[in-house]
Amino acid sequence: MVVEDKKSQKTLLQNINSHPLDPLSLDEITKSILIVKSKESLGRELLFETIMLREPSKKEVLSFKPGDPFSRNVFVVVLNYKEEKLYELDITLDSEEIIRCEHIPNVQPAFMCGDLDMDFNDWENKIKHDSKLIEPLKKRGINNPDLLMIDPWPISNFGNKEEEGKRLAIGRCWVRKEPGDNAYARPIEGLSLILDLNKNVIVEVQDFGVVPIPPEDGNYSTKYQKEVRTDLKPIEITQPEGPSFVVNGNEVKWQKWSLRIGYTKREGLVLHTIGYEDGGSVRPIIYRAALSEMVVPYGDPTNDHYKKQVFDAGEVGIGRCANSLELGCDCLGEIRYFDVALFDMRGEATELKNAICMHEEDFGILWKHTDTRSGETETRRSRRLVISFIATVGNYEYGFYWYFYQDGGIEYEVKLTGIMNSSGIAPGVKPKNGTLVAPQVVAHNHQHHFNVRLDMMVDGLKNSVYEVDTITDPISDENIHGNAFSTKRTLIGKEKDAVRVVDPFAARYWSVTNNSSKNYLDEPVSYKIAPGENVLPFHHKEAVIMKRAAFMNGHMWVTPFKENEMYAAGDYPQQHPGGEGLPKWMSANRDLKDKDIVVWYTFGHNHIPRLEDWPVMPVAYTGFSIKPSGFFDRNPALDVPPSTKNCCSKDTHSCNC
């Protein structure tokens, strides 16, 4: 299947790519779309849900040298929304051929609202002027549908036979007081729209009863503030000689770290081939790291609120929700931005400017000691490399941050902000499963669970995972005074044992170890994964969400590497009843000792709303760390130079560093 001259296409690919893991370019996305559209048997009414690089094998990537030839393969998911059929395609761009085209039955693609003739704004305008809404709105005193705001939410799967095979969503409704104000301050409680996304129509209006519209504004933008603080003096971050990192295409080198930056519509930021230079060579640590899945289950059982359980990666696509970081002060300092090539559902390549931000930050003290006898003090300040992107999913904002430290440590952090999902409540009623944040406005209790897939490669591809607990030694002749405690290492040798939970009372962490690589004390080298804030779900085991998002039930999951096992809740969580992903794969009970293993780490944030979270919430933080543990022979940051003395301002009396 030839779309254009093969010779010119091959030249194009060589010009735009320097490495097999480079993300797809705009030209490659366009080429892939043309190839798919030329497949006449798929029909003309195609919506494009996925276009992503089919990554080469590890063997090919790890043996690659600059200048080596390599092929470019693309994975595509399209939906014929008229025939309601979903197809997966594998395309090779070198020969411009479709090497696989397969209809995948009984699944639904991630969210796409609209069709070939309308974008989201047109879609929303059509829905809110539907004749089925006239009477329900009038009952609530709403006569101008133009002030209506409709957010489409995944409908989940509660076994309703009439929903099978249909691509559905729930339309949750709010009303603005005036154009441009915060509609989330005025939820239309009791009104729920069941939407057919293939036909772009309301199939049912569910009316659970009229609740008065909340009376107060919830506006937060500058134009609505009567005054702002006037005593805030400027902080300026300057790097006169520029940043310390070096960027070559998608490759980044900084303070002995090296890695590659990638991006997908589903996962957002992807990091590849993370390693640290030690003794003149780069030692591998992680082959691939990315958000695998995230879910936000709510805890209110009334009306249709029990259906709130959104998979923001698998059902929405967190990467396509990314902000352009040129709009506002999202990063501070000497910034290096990365643009990403994406696509819209119609099959048009698009570019998102400044989707990824990279910069350096001062992070306090790296290490310090004062010799009290000689009076000599040695202090080193810590600097970290920050690689991040921020996504807006309806009412919420999520910031995803990778931090790299000079001592070989890594942290992953999610920052949560934006507007809490709001619901209405009758005057004088106190909510049981949420917090009253304004008169007649309730924010329901909910959780945010994130799963990060870490394809580990600690000094090579053969790794093992050990659970490490701190234990109290028994009273004995060796421990007469009962003060002794030690660590207990337990090998996670099979998948049946590979679902673990945090235990703060045991100071539990997990050690990813290479038993064939030894440090200078002849001990196996390792990196440890240490929990930060975490939580388990509070839902009953029988609840639907516990099957659909089974990855919430454990914090540490371990599997052997398999290239098509990518997403913790499976490939197609939209309207899926559950059972896919990690629990299905791990039922094989595969061996894990000294294997090419993947760690799936789940962490959660329990959000019991506060009054202070309204109308826009201050940032909440959650995440975990990945730190060397016997990987280096000594502190790898001993060679960080002292900071130069530099006073901050003429009014500062003692400012040394």
Q: 3-state DSSP call for residue 30? A: helix
User: Rounded to whole angstroms, what are the CA distances from 598 to 138, 420, 465, 497?
Assistant: 55, 34, 10, 15
Q: Phi and psi (nearest 5°) for 624?
A: -160, 175
Contact status, residue 575 vs residue 108, Cβ threshold 8 Å? yes
Closest among 425, 429, 428 to 443, alpha carbons compared: 425
Please give the structure tokens belonging to residue 55: 């990554």
Contact status, residue 456 vs residue 654, Cβ threshold 8 Å? no
Length of the chain: 657
Element (H, E) at 586: helix 582-586
312 counts as catalytic: yes
Task: Measure the CA–CA gap between 156 and 214, rounded to whole angstroms.
Answer: 28
Taking the mean position of all CA atoms in its chain, how far away is CA 544? Answer: 23
Closest among 607, 295, 309 to 433, alpha carbons compared: 607
362 counts as catalytic: no
Say if strands 148-154 and 446-456 run parallel, antiparallel, or are unpaired: unpaired
> Exactly one of 81, 87, 298, 396 is catalytic; which is it?
396
Contact status, residue 544 vs residue 295, Cβ threshold 8 Å? no
Q: 3-state DSSP call for residue 241? A: coil
**In sequence order, which residues have a C-beta less than 8 Å from that of residue 323 and are 6 or more positions away?**
330, 355, 389, 390, 391, 392, 397
Task: Measure the CA–CA gap between 577 and 584, rounded to whole angstroms.
Answer: 13
> Exactly one of 22, 115, 312, 459 is catalytic; which is it?
312
User: Rounded to whole angstroms, what are the CA distances from 533 to 125, 259, 400?
Assistant: 41, 27, 15
**How many C-beta atoms lie closer than 10 Å to residue 74's C-beta?**
23
Task: Measure the CA–CA gap between 577 and 159, rounded to whole angstroms.
Answer: 7
Please give the structure tokens belonging to residue 504: 């703060």
Cα dihedral across residues 256, 450, 316, 438: positive or negative: negative
- CA dihedral (602, 607, 608, 610) in degrees, to 10, reads 160
Burial class (CB in 10 A: 0-12, 13-18, 19+), 654: exposed
Q: Which residues are catalytic?
A: 312, 396
